[in-house]
């Protein structure tokens, strides 16, 4: 299922959730470490490309990069720049390398991108708010980035598209694009509209027909214009092109119409999407599919088809088509088919979406999509059934008691919760205690949030830690099954009394807005933009076995985080051959150091960073060839 990817790094300039004011909720402080591959976007490199710029070699010399006070200007972020492509804004309110400084998610972000960083130019030292106006070029800003002259004299059609990531704060910040075809007069043809305090998606794509003023002209000039105060505007993958004539695309699919602000949404959390259903609570699907006509011609009798197949039996249990509709060029439409109540049959299922029209589609590969789910005997889940990220809270919270989890709606009577399945991320400290808890959450009054039950503490173990792509969970049982009320919403969490310095939790797939939460004690609540890998179990379930024998060894690293050198102190309970193995957050071996054959007792080993890039790692002591203590560490810039 194609999903819009939401922000994965979160704002530093935040305040905790005020009870009863869900509209003021802020994203969780920290970042979600994931395998950042180039974005797969149906827009990029589509059609007959007339001109393009991916910033592979920086901002070209023949572009006009206007400077304010000969200081503030559009910047290039590249693989070899400082900061590099992993950093977006580097201002004091969104500090470099910390929460909210994520880059654009364009198709070629790895080659580099352009950014006007108003926050940085106004205040690069901080503190945020108190430091306003103390930077190298105080706001307000007025900066443009002008492309070289473009020749479309022989072209009858011209379309433009680009990736962008824009965030504003003050409400008076503008981001717009202008054109000139006479060498002097500029006319605005695109203006970004966004609510105060909000941002676009980091993978936002703008596509538009500019043939009316560009086609047939030999001297077309285009410029991007940032005007105002805070935060930033990133752009990448600018293309001018002639689209295919017939080209429909499935942009997004959904099986439920979730709207937390819908007055008919009695619990506030009805119609969320789930991926695992207990057979006593089978799903009801309400299908909607977003379709985009990326071609230059209108498309006739566009039809959506949806079918559900039991993968185990290959039986098709649902097959429906939508009403036909015509779509003009660049139009976005939403198609629906009749809703469907799934039977309570245990199995793995796939929903297949496809679109068709009278004209022959010239790029049919994205006219289809799939969504996988299962019906089982005990487990209820919203995650995407594999680890897509590891949440690392902001360092100021590293020793703070915290919890994170998901909202669930129980739609049937006589459901008894036995346990919670929890995904722990790679880098967590084996032996650290975690627990699970169940809350009743009232969306209209967070002050009425009630703790219903909490499990005893359980120690995590290395075998249960998830790298990217893993689906390993610890089962954390309650002392007694908990009877749940029908048609009620519950918040299900995993918690760490000692704080995230010792335990990171796994995340899996984009979360519905304001339905996944992290709490830093005592009462600071923030929403998550990916689903924590936290599931409900309405019966007995088996988790990852943690009974493997572990050598007797303890260790610690200092300092942590570190930049150039670190020292590991460890204690052996017997003579042993010792190695230190370092893995990145994907579980790939990054380095290995042979320490030697050492006697019983306490030892220290200093090692240097070498070629390791900044980020989250784990180091593991191999004692006589067996896995010993595993600890997390962060290498800073």
Q: What is the pLDDT of residues 529-581, one digit of tens each?
A: 899 999 999 998 766 555 545 455 667 787 877 888 888 888 787 888 888 88
Query: What residues contact 254, with CB distance under 8 A and at least 6 apart?
Result: 1, 273, 287, 288, 289
Relative to beta strand 424-425, strand 465-466 is: parallel
For residue 118, the surrounding DSSP H or E stretch is helix 118-122
By CB atoms closer than 10 A (0-12, 13-18, 19+), residue 449 is middle
Q: What is the pLDDT of residues 245-296, one digit of tens each?
A: 999 999 899 998 887 777 777 777 888 999 999 999 999 999 999 999 989 8
Chain centroid to CA 347: how far? 29
CATH entry 1.20.1740 includes domain 386-537: no
pLDDT at 548: 46
Whose CA is closest to 325, among 315, 317, 337, 314?
A: 337
Query: What residues contact 595, with CB distance under 8 A and at least 6 apart?
Result: 578, 579, 580, 603, 605
- pLDDT of 10 > 70? The answer is no
Mention the CATH class of domain 248-379: mainly beta
Whose CA is closest to 421, among 392, 378, 451, 388?
A: 378
CATH code of domain 553-635: 2.60.40.1930
Q: What is the mean pLDDT of the chain?
A: 85
- pLDDT of 587 > 80? The answer is no
Q: What percent of the chain lies above the pLDDT cut of 90?
A: 50
Relative to beta strand 315-321, strand 299-310 is: antiparallel
Cα(502)–Cα(549) distance, integer angstroms? 21
Rg (alpha carbons) of the chain, rounded to whole number:
26
Cα(421)–Cα(381) distance, integer angstroms? 9
For residue 234, the surrounding DSSP H or E stretch is strand 231-242
Same fold, 248-379 and 553-635: yes
pLDDT at 408: 96
Cα(438)–Cα(418) distance, integer angstroms? 11
Residue with tokens 């919403």: 489
Whose CA is closest to 389, among 544, 496, 529?
A: 529
Q: Establish how many alpha carbons lie within 13 A of residue 264's alpha carbon, considering only the half-sphere containing its beta carbon.
A: 3
Of the candidate ranges 406-410, 478-482, 606-610, the one whose mean pLDDT is the lowest: 606-610
Domain boundaries, the chain: 48-242, 248-379, 386-537, 553-635
Question: 179 by DSSP, 3-state: which?
Answer: strand
State pTM to two decimals.
0.75
Question: 447 by DSSP, 3-state: which?
Answer: helix
Cα(612)–Cα(550) distance, integer angstroms? 28
For residue 411, the surrounding DSSP H or E stretch is none
CATH code of domain 48-242: 2.60.120.200
Q: Residue 619 in contact with residue 589, Cβ under 8 Å?
A: no
Q: What is the pLDDT of residues 45-90, one digit of tens each?
A: 678 999 999 999 999 999 999 988 789 999 999 988 888 887 888 8
pLDDT at 36: 55
Q: Which two tokens stand for residue 566?
A: 């670190």
Query: What residues contact 488, with CB distance under 8 A and at least 6 apart?
Result: 267, 409, 410, 440
Cα(552)–Cα(545) distance, integer angstroms? 19
Q: Which two tokens stand for residue 150?
A: 């473009």
Of 237 and 32, the one with more pLDDT: 237
């Amino acid at each position: 299922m194609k999903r819009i990817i939401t922000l994965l790094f979160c704002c530093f300039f935040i305040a905790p959730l005020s009870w009863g004011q869900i509209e003021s909720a802020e994203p969780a402080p920290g970042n979600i470490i994931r395998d950042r591959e180039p974005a797969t976007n149906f827009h990029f490199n589509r059609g007959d490309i007339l001109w393009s710029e991916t910033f592979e070699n920086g901002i070209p010399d023949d572009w006009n990069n206007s400077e304010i006070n000969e200081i503030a200007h559009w910047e290039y972020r590249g693989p070899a720049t400082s900061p590099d492509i992993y950093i977006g804004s580097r201002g004091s309110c969104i500090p470099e390398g910390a929460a909210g400084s994520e880059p654009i998610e364009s198709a070629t972000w790895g080659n580099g991108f352009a950014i006007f960083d108003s926050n940085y130019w106004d205040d690069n030292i901080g503190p945020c708010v108190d430091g306003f106006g103390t930077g190298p070029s105080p706001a307000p800003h007025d900066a443009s980035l002008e492309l070289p002259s473009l020749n479309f004299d022989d072209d009858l059609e011209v379309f433009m598209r680009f990736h962008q990531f824009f965030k504003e704060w003050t409400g008076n910040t503008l981001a717009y694009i202008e054109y000139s075809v006479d060498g002097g007069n500029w006319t605005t043809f695109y203006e970004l509209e966004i609510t105060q305090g909000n941002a676009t998606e980091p993978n936002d794509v703008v596509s538009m027909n500019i043939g009316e003023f560009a086609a047939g002209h030999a001297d077309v000039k285009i410029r991007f214009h940032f005007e105002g105060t805070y935060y930033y505007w990133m752009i990448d993958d600018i293309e001018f092109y002639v689209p295919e004539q017939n080209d429909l695309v499935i942009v997004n699919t959904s099986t439920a119409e979730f709207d937390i602000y819908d007055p008919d949404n009695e619990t506030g959390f009805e119609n969320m999407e789930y991926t695992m259903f207990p057979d006593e609570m089978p799903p009801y699907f309400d299908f909607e599919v977003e379709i985009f006509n990326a071609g230059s011609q209108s498309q006739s009798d566009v039809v959506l088809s949806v079918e559900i197949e039991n993968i185990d039996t290959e039986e098709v249990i649902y097959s429906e088509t939508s009403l036909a509709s015509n779509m003009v060029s660049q139009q976005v439409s939403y198609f629906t088919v009749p809703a469907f109540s799934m039977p309570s049959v245990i199995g793995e299922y796939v929903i297949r979406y496809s679109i068709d029209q009278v004209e022959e589609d010239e790029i049919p590969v994205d006219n289809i999509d799939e969504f996988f789910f299962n019906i089982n005997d005990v487990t209820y889940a919203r995650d995407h059934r594999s680890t897509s990220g590891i949440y690392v809270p902001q360092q100021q919270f590293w020793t703070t008691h915290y919890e994170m989890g998901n909202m669930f709606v129980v739609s049937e009577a006589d459901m008894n919760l036995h346990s919670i399945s929890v995904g722990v991320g790679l880098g967590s400290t084996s032996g650290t205690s975690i627990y699970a808890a169940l809350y009743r959450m009232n969306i209209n009054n967070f002050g009425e949030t009630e703790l219903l039950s909490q499990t005893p503490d359980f120690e995590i173990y290395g075998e249960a830690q998830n790298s990217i792509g893993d689906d390993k969970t610890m089962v954390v049982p309650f002392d007694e099954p908990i009877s749940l009320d029908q048609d009620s919403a519950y918040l299900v969490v995993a918690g760490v009394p000692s704080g995230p310095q010792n335990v990171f939790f796994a995340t899996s797939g984009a979360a519905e807005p304001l339905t996944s939460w992290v709490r830093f004690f005592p009462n600071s609540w923030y929403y998550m933009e990916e689903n924590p890998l936290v599931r409900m179990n309405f019966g007995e379930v088996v988790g990852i076995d943690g009974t493997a024998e572990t050598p007797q060894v303890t260790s610690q690293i200092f300092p942590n985080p570190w930049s150039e050198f670190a020292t590991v102190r460890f204690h052996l309970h017997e003579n042993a051959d010792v190695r230190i193995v370092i893995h990145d957050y994907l579980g790939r071996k990054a380095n290995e150091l042979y320490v030697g054959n050492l006697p019983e007792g306490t030892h220290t080993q200093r090692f240097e960073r070498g070629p390791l890039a900044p980020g989250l790692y784990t180091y593991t002591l191999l004692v006589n060839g067996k896995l010993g203590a595993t600890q997390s560490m962060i290498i800073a810039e």
